Chains A and B, each alone.
Chain A
Amino acid sequence: MIYSLIGYYSLIIGLFISSFIFFFSIKNFRNNKIFDVKIVNFSFLQLFLVIVSFLGLILSFVYSDFSNETVFNNSHTTKPLFYKISGTWGNHEGSLLLWLFVLTLFICVFILKSKNQLKKYRILTILFQQIIIIGFFVFLLTSSNPFNYIFPTPNEGLGLNPILQDPALAIHPPILYLGYVGSSIIFSSVLSATVLKDVSKTWAIHIKNWVLTSWIFLTLGILLGSIWAYYELGWGGFWFWDPVENVSLMPWLALTTLLHCISVLEKRYTLQSWVIILSITTFTLSMCGTFLVRSGILNSVHTFANDPERGLFILIFLFILISISLFIFFVFHKSEKQNSILFSLLSKESSILINNWFMMYFLSVVLVGTVYPIFLQVISSEQISVGPPFYHKLIIPFLIPFLIFMAIGPKLKWIKSELDEKLNLLIFFLMSILMSYLITKKISTDFLINTMLIGSAFYLFLITTKDFFSKKIKNISQNLAHFGFSLLILSILFNNIFSREIITNLRVGEEFNNEKFQIEFSDLKKFEKKNYISFKGIFLITDQGVKNEFNPELRVYNQPNIITSEADIKTSFWTDKFITMNTLQNEEYFNIRYQVKPFMLWIWISVLLISLGGTLSLFKRRSL
């Protein structure tokens, strides 16, 4: 009770502080010399208040204070403490408070980290960031207040959806939001740099750390979500082209492109327009992600509260931000002088430009696939869904040249260059095609496209591997990230091609047999747990002579009353074995799905390598 009150009033005072900062920033902007220390103090005060408010919500959850509506809707006394805490941001209101927390945190970090920058630039960035912060304050206090009071106080809460009670998903939103919100700093900063006509090399060096940091967090956030979907949803896949996944992929694509562009700006002082547009795009997509997921427009795992008012608010807010940024872009930005458009065809900057075009293409495909169904439903009330084949068909063929460019591009030098080691590159290419042919010759479907895909992925793999041992290696972080990407594509392809699965319905005591597998459903055991009843199946599976015992589980949660199935996964270096068990009401049969998924572990490892590449680059810059 008291925690909710403290949290609520902190939020209101925080909003007032915002207007102070806004006021002082404008006043201070005209003064050329002295940076008003009040702005710094008030920013930290604001951060403190938001932290207090956030802690207030966490404590309300910890002490199960059901007079708070958010706690009542999302918690339950029998829930383990860890999930009470993670329940704080597992819902709409709490996750917005988390957004706000990260926003205010980042502006304080920005103030500390940007001491060497121009005063006007700092103030203007703070000003733009405050606009976003005020938007979120107002949003929280009007339409999604996490501290709503209910009277009389209920005795028990409604509970958190059990599929969200999971360690990976508990830390997934904070990590993802660090990435999303990091892009807000890039957004504010690029706008103020544009206004001051200072999109320069020094600015690029300064902002690159922010781009890298958000990119790393966004990558890790997506990875966590994907791992969660893999073992919790029990479909055995790790990416479903679900709209909710797509909205996190889109900012990632834009941010990755921006990351490459920033290097060009830093080294060659060109592609400013690209950098500005991409920064704006990344943040807009991050906001859109929040909007689409939270407004209930997308029907998916994450959308519980369907409230049109909220969606409308974010939409208007987004519209204002986009208008401001477009206005600034067209009024203040004059396109650069003519040293840029005429790139030499063989140079690092043109290879990065090619990368940009590919990434933009991938981005538009994902955007169309995600938005088109919504659009069509609004204009014609025809209901459609766009499935994986759409994305595969449009993305896979372009992945082949993309991978090859990715292997060759980094070999080129800035300004103008010759392609060194032509013979080497050619030999490697033939080698990869041969290797890929040897692997794919057994498979019958889509032979050509698979061979070419695996071939080009091998090509990138071999070249980046070779570069690790090369003495001339200049950019180990870039090489590591590209190596990780080749490994990712290879793992996904092998995973796709060599997966096997059995789906069957069995009763307790029955057996399933074919030439390769023998599945014996020997027993079903019941356990009572704190907030659920667990049914564990005992399965003996003989797979190519190897016998394993599997214990997939069905959980019947008490609050809310939901049945979930927990997959049993045996992970090994090369292969995952995956079994899920589902039940039907009043039926003796259990629906069993057994899958053999090669290279699963390597998909996760390769994404970790990619983000490790980014991390290395971050530390390299700091030491400069």
Chain B
Amino acid sequence: MYGRKVKFRFFFVILVLLTLILSVFLVLKALEENVVFFKSPSDVKFLGELKNKKIRIGGMVKQDSIEMSANELNFIITDFKNEINVSYSGVVPNLFSEGKGVVAEGYLKDRSFFQASKILAKHDENYMPPEVKAALEEN
């Protein structure tokens, strides 16, 4: 019916289409699973339901809230309206200090307690992560 060339090209096109669909599907799925959302303490307060998903929380480190021991660091992130307690063990960036901006990545235990697995490094004393700036301006 059809020549060999046509058949071959037909299969080729089908193959390309299938690969494309497959990769788009994979990318979307991976995005859905691995995207980390950024929230401010106020966002957390009004969160509909608590999912067991990694998120980032940003704001200011509250004055006099840092407590450090041999294997743990506790502090409070505030956006001057709401607060959240953060517990963390791991590498602390040099510019992490009270009254400065911070972004913590980890899991929410409940609405007022956050278990962080990473504190993001800042590189500049004047630098504030754009997310934190926006979150603070909103309030």
Contacts and interface: CB of A to CB of B under 8 A. Distances in A.
Interface of A: 161, 163, 233-235, 299, 301, 304, 341-342, 357, 361, 364-365, 368, 372-373, 382-387, 389-390, 393-394, 503-506, 510, 554, 560-565, 580, 582-587, 589, 591, 593
B8 A583 contact: no
Given A563-B94, A591-B92, A384 B19 contact: no
Contacts of A373: 35
A503 B31 contact: no
B36 A582 contact: no
Given A386-B34, A589-B68, A582 B93 contact: yes
Contacts of A560: 124-125
A18 B26 CA distance: 48
A301 B127 CA distance: 10
Contact of A393 (B9, B34, B73, B121): B34
A589 B96 CA distance: 13
B19 A357 contact: yes
B38 A583 contact: no
Contacts of B123: 161, 163, 301, 562
B94 A368 contact: no
A389 B98 CA distance: 31
Contact of B35 (A386, A503, A582, A586): A386
Nearest to B40: A383
Identify the interface centre among B92, B98, B131: most chain A CB within 10 Å of its CB.
B92
14 contacts: A235-B121, A342-B8, A372-B31, A384-B37, A389-B34, A394-B27, A503-B90, A505-B68, A561-B125, A562-B95, A582-B91, A587-B68, A589-B69, A591-B91
Interface of B: 5, 8-9, 12, 19, 23, 26-27, 30-31, 33-38, 56, 66, 68-73, 89-98, 121, 123-125, 129-131, 134
Task: List 8 A-B pairs, minimum CB-CB distance, nearest first.
Answer: A383-B38, A390-B34, A585-B97, A563-B94, A591-B92, A389-B34, A589-B68, A384-B35
Given A235-B91, A390-B33, 19 more contacts: A342-B5, A364-B23, A365-B27, A373-B35, A384-B36, A384-B38, A385-B56, A389-B33, A394-B30, A504-B71, A505-B68, A505-B70, A505-B71, A505-B73, A554-B94, A561-B125, A562-B124, A563-B94, A564-B94
B97 A364 contact: no
Contacts of A583: 94
B27 A368 contact: yes
B95 A563 contact: yes
B80 to A, nearest CB: 19
Nearest to B58: A383
A503 B90 CA distance: 6
Contacts of A163: 123
